[in-house]
Amino acid sequence: MAAVTADRSSVGAIPQLGHAVILLGPPGAGKGTQAQRIAARYHLPHLSTGDMFRDHIRRETELGKRAKPLMERGELVPDDLVLSMVEERIAQPDCRNGFVFDGFPRTLAQAGDLERICQKQKFGCTFVLHMVVEPTLLMRRLTGRRICKAGGHIYNIYDRPPKREGICDQDGSELIHRPDDTEGVISERLHAYEVQTRPLVEYYTVRKLLSPVDAMAQADDVTASIARILDGAQIPR
């Protein structure tokens, strides 16, 4: 499928304002993989709500203690907890020119809140890249995923293995298997996506902010498709 650029005539008029780039798609669509690359290309911070929660869990904060059992079951964390964390994060100076969201928003309520925050903080444009993937590919991608402990670099034991088993090619650190990447929990996460997150496709389509991207292509080709869309919208590099 070719990437399609969404219609947004105001883009050229407000280049000085920040851009909210959202990667929307099911677990395993490649949001994290692409967010790392897109964030680097456009010098924007990569904001993964999943990573933020995993950090809270590691640090055993109150938020982490509330999120942990839900994440272990593959359920979403309640909107109010997500929102206060996100609002605090995007108020930080490194987000002034925009940010790349990976895993947020995930419910209609979160999307409405993001719209409100963006208006309040005067973020000019929102770009929603809808990562379209055949559901049958997702289980293999997720059960095979391994993540570098130090730098978050993403591998797949079937399709993108590291040169040395269990070791990150880029920084030599240990690769881990995420505890929610087991078949039972993955099924729950996919179900949560269908019920709670998929309605965002319609939400952003109506607002003419959605650009579909073929996320079944090779990762480099997916990056190129996304870059075409964002370059076309004159996001500065």
Window 201-220: contact mask with ligand AP5 (x via CB under 6 A) = --------------x--xx-
* Least distance between ligand AP5 and beta carbon 103 (Å): 3
Residue 221 corresponds to which tokens in the numbers above? 């080709």
What's the count of helices (H) and strands (E) in the chain, helices before strands? 9, 8
Instruction: Return d(Cα 94, Cα 97) in angstroms, integer.
Output: 7
CB nearest ligand AP5: which residue?
Answer: 50
Cα gap 17→23, rounded to integer Å: 19
Q: What residues contact 94, with CB distance under 8 A and at least 6 apart?
A: 45
Which residues contact residue 206 at a Cβ distance below 8 angstroms, ignoring those fewer than 6 apart?
none
Strand order of the β-sheet with 98-102 is 46-48, 98-102, 19-24, 125-132, 210-214
Decide whether 11 or 38 has the Cβ nearer to ligand AP5: 38
Residue number with CB closer to ligand AP5 (77 or 226):
77
Q: Which is nearer to ligand AP5, 90 or 222 (CB)?
A: 222
| Cα gap 92→215, rounded to integer Å | 31
141 binds ligand AP5 (CB under 6 A): yes
Residues 49-78 as x/- pattern, contact with ligand AP5 by CB under 6 A:
xx--x----------------xx--xxxx-
Per the CB < 8 A criterion, the answer to whether 188 and 75 are in contact is yes
Nearer to ligand AP5, 170 or 234 (CB): 170
List the interface residues with ligand AP5, window 144-203 (CB under 6 A): 144-145, 154-156, 159-160, 189
In the shown chain, the binding pattern of residues 77 to 116 toward ligand AP5, with x for contact by CB under 6 A and - for none, equals x----x-------------------xxx-x---x------
Residue 99: its H or E element: strand 98-102
Token digits for 5? 């650029």
Looking at the annotation, which residues are catalytic? 31, 106, 145, 178, 189
DSSP 8-state class, residue 159: T
Shortest reach from residue 154's CB to ligand AP5, in Å? 5
Three-state DSSP class for residue 144: coil
Q: Does 223 bind ligand AP5 (CB under 6 A)?
A: no
**Interface characters, 13-32, with ligand AP5 (x: CB under 6 A):** ------------x-xxxxxx
Task: Kindly list the residues in this chain that would bind ligand AP5 in the complex (CB under 6 A).
Answer: 25, 27-33, 48-50, 53, 70-71, 74-77, 82, 102-104, 106, 110, 141-142, 144-145, 154-156, 159-160, 189, 215, 218-219, 222
